[in-house]
């Protein structure tokens, strides 16, 4: 793929219409929502290990705000500093991939529960998740999105925490599985639940036991939400689980139609965006 000083040329051309669509008003009609639903979701991936050299640090540290720089420098261990810098560099670079603002110009305004929105508002919706080995950013237009990433090696620890973080229905299904399948299910459940609470932008104010991801039946996986959580009328949550580079990733989007998903990888030097091969991971509910 060819490249310019910002990202790959093909990436810029491929997403031009995506960027134009992102400026539509939030008060768009149902017809406009259907149009937005037809645009793909973009999942961006970055590797914190790429941010280990002094050259990369010198290039991306100036993008941080004063508060971000202070927090970054407080991390005791280099691996945590790399993870933080990769996360901030990814979201700023990706937003500038679609909108005419320099990466250092972006500011982020959290809601009451801590979910950030980009300032200035260009109509894009994004969500971040980070780990020591992989950082991800999900980008959509007009409707809310959520994403979570976990190293697959954490499945055992998550399974040990199951009684504290899963609903009674999820626990019953988990216990009914053969021993060899429980760790995989626990990892999927945790990432799905995290992506849902992040998509709703309410964090852990949503009681984890009050919503369930139920496996089986015609839908493959379906989401059941207790009425006490006050889900907004008209929401249609679509979700997907995939594996990449030893990590489990769960995606959540408020979409009436099954989304198309594109995977993109961000590399800091030389600065490039590489579209990854198409994945065949199914979206749920299947019907």
Q: Which tens digit of pLDDT belongs to each residue from 62-79?
A: 999 999 999 999 999 999
If we measure between CA atoms, which residue out of 59, 50, 43 comes closest to residue 79?
Answer: 50
**CB neighbours of 83 closer than 8 A, spacing ≥ 6?**
48, 130, 131, 132, 135
pLDDT band at 49 (very low <50, low <70, confident <90, very high): very high
Q: What integer best gives the mean pLDDT of the chain?
A: 88
Please name which of 153, 221, 220, 210 lies closest in space to residue 187, comparing C-alpha atoms.
153
Confidence of residue 280 (pLDDT cuts 50, 70, 90): confident
Q: Token pair of 218, please?
A: 């015609």
pLDDT band at 19 (very low <50, low <70, confident <90, very high): very low
CATH class of 9-284: alpha beta
Q: State the burial class of residue 92 (Cβ atoms within 10 Å of its Cβ: 0-12, 13-18, 19+).
A: buried
pTM of the entire structure? 0.89
211-215 vs 221-225, strand pairing mode: antiparallel
Domain assignments of the chain as residue spans, ordered by start: 9-284
Residues near 240 by Cβ (< 8 Å), separated by ≥ 6?
250, 251, 259, 261, 281, 282, 283, 284
Residues 6+ apart with CB under 8 A from 61: 69, 72, 85
281 close to 240: Cβ distance less than 8 angstroms: yes
Q: Say whether pLDDT at 53 is over 50.
A: yes
Tell me the per-residue pLDDT of 77-134, one tens digit each, with 9 for 90 and over: 999 999 999 999 999 999 999 999 999 999 999 998 888 999 999 889 999 999 999 9
Res 1 pLDDT > 70: no
Q: Which of 123, 146, 121, 124 is nearest to 136 (CA)?
A: 146
Which two structure tokens, joined as six digits, stand for 108?
A: 């982020």
Q: How many CB atoms sit inside 10 A of residue 98's CB? A: 22
């Amino acid at each position: 793929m060819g490249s310019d000083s910002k990202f790959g040329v093909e990436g810029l051309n491929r997403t031009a219409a995506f960027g134009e669509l992102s400026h539509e008003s939030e008060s768009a009609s149902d017809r406009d929502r259907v149009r937005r639903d037809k645009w793909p979701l973009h999942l961006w991936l970055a590797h914190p290990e790429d941010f280990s050299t002094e050259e990369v640090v010198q290039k991306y540290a100036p993008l941080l705000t004063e508060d971000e720089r202070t927090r970054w420098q407080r991390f005791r261990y280099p691996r945590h500093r790399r993870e933080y810098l990769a996360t901030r560099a990814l979201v700023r670079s990706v937003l500038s991939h679609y909108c005419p603002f320099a990466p250092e110009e972006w500011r982020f305004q959290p809601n009451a529960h801590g979910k950030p929105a980009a300032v200035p508002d260009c109509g894009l919706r994004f969500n971040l998740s980070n780990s020591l080995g992989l950082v991800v950013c999900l980008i959509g237009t007009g409707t809310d999105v959520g994403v979570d990433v976990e190293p697959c090696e954490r499945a055992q620890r998550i399974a040990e925490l199951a009684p504290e973080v899963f609903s009674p229905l999820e626990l019953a299904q988990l216990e009914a599985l053969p021993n060899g399948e429980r760790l995989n299910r626990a990892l999927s459940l945790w990432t799905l639940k995290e992506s849902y609470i992040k998509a709703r932008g309410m964090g852990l104010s949503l009681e984890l036991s009050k919503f369930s991801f139920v496996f089986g039946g015609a839908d493959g996986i379906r989401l059941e939400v207790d009425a006490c959580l006050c889900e907004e009328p008209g929401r249609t949550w679509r979700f997907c689980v995939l594996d990449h580079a030893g990590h489990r990733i769960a995606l959540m989007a408020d979409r009436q139609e099954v989304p198309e998903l594109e995977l993109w990888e961000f590399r800091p030097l030389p600065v490039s965006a590489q579209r990854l091969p198409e994945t065949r991971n199914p979206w749920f509910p299947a019907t």
